[in-house]
Structure 1
Amino acid sequence: MKPIFKHGLAAVALTLISGTAMAAEHVVEMKNAGADGAMVFEPGFLKAEPGDTVKFVLTDPAHNSVSVEVPEGAEGWQGAINKEITVTLNEEGVYVYKCTPHAPLNMAGVIQVGEPVNYDSAKTAVDEVTAAAATNKDRLVGYLEQVEK
């Protein structure tokens, strides 16, 4: 019986290790210009799984990433200007974020992690960010429309 117990214990340990090893790292670039126009995050919409990380990479100067809406139980973030930041997404839901200096240009993005459990509050946040923007009014709304309900 001891060899079976050892093998079973090893199988459980490998399962736990592989569960954490399967978490993905996604890269979002902070750019002055991209496929969706001026002052953008690329990609502007990202689908991830619980436990994944997102690394916001500074491609051009004078950007940051700051959370606007996160699911209940999730930690928000506030990246410094001109600094990369890596965020771990542990809770399911919709995350909305922006670049503080370029919020008037609607430099913002959406991340869906698993089920969109906070979709309504994310939509409210998107509406508020978009209403405060001077340009690119359809951009963030378009990203939210990609959320799979």
Structure 2
Amino acid sequence: MTQFITRRTALLSAAATASLALSLPARVLAATTHDIQMLNKHPEDRKLRQIFLPRIITIEPGDTVKFLATDKGHNAQSSDGMAPDGAAEFRGKINEEIEVTFDKPGFYGYQCQPHYAIGMVGLVVVKGEGMMDNLEAAKEVKHRGKAKAVWGDIWAEVDGMDLSA
């Protein structure tokens, strides 16, 4: 059976699609996926080992971060006490990519579990109203090994960032 689409049906379909698109929040329509690599060595500075690249990323609510298993032996997971209240924790498997969507503004610490003590940590900053609510609590989390020094560097970098926009 052959079905014909009339001009009226096509126009009604286009109007319905446009109406749906207009009813969605702008952030949903413009959500972006950001990549973070899990690496054994920095591609430009071979002295930097067991790192996330970039180690700090600033995103908008609704954006997704894809942790890429670029080199073997790593995972990405939430760091205890380093996320806004009510935010979901995440835990990727070793050697596997994981995608995490961040909806709530704030500071999210993350780490590679096998390489945490040697400083394989990073930070996702989600902009928006209430972003600063968990900053001090995240900064107060105690760390061990080289992670303690790397977090000191990360917080110094955050203190120098313009987070107003």
Which residue is equivalent to 1:66?
A: 77
| Worse-matched range after superposition: 31-40 or 59-68 | 31-40
Q: How many angstroms does 1:92 deviate by?
A: 0.6
Taking structure 2 as the reference length, the TM-score comes to 0.74
Q: Does 1:40 align with 2:51?
A: yes
2:134 to 108, 114, 118: 118
Which residue is equivalent to 1:24?
A: 32
**Alpha-carbon distance in 2 for matches of 1:51, 1:19:** 7
Q: How many angstroms does 1:119 deviate by?
A: 0.3
- Cα distance change, pair 10–61 in 1 and its aligned pair in 2 (3 A): closer
SS of aligned partner of 1:101: helix
2:20 to 13, 17, 25: 13
**Alpha-carbon distance in 1 for matches of 2:136, 2:148:** 19
| Worse-matched range after superposition: 69-78 or 24-33 | 69-78
Give the structure with higher Rg (CA): 2
**Alpha-carbon distance in 2 for matches of 1:136, 1:103:** 6
What is the aligned length? 139
Q: Does 1:91 align with 2:104?
A: yes
On the 8 A contact 2:121/2:147 being kept in 1, the answer is no
Q: How many angstroms does 1:14 deviate by?
A: 2.6
**Alpha-carbon distance in 2 for matches of 1:59, 1:46:** 18
Gap runs ≥5 in structure 1: 1-5
Gap runs ≥5 in structure 2: 1-11
| Amino acid paired to 2:139 | K
Identity value in percent? 33
Taking structure 1 as the reference length, the TM-score comes to 0.82
Which residue is equivalent to 1:3?
A: none
Q: Which has the higher strand share?
A: 1
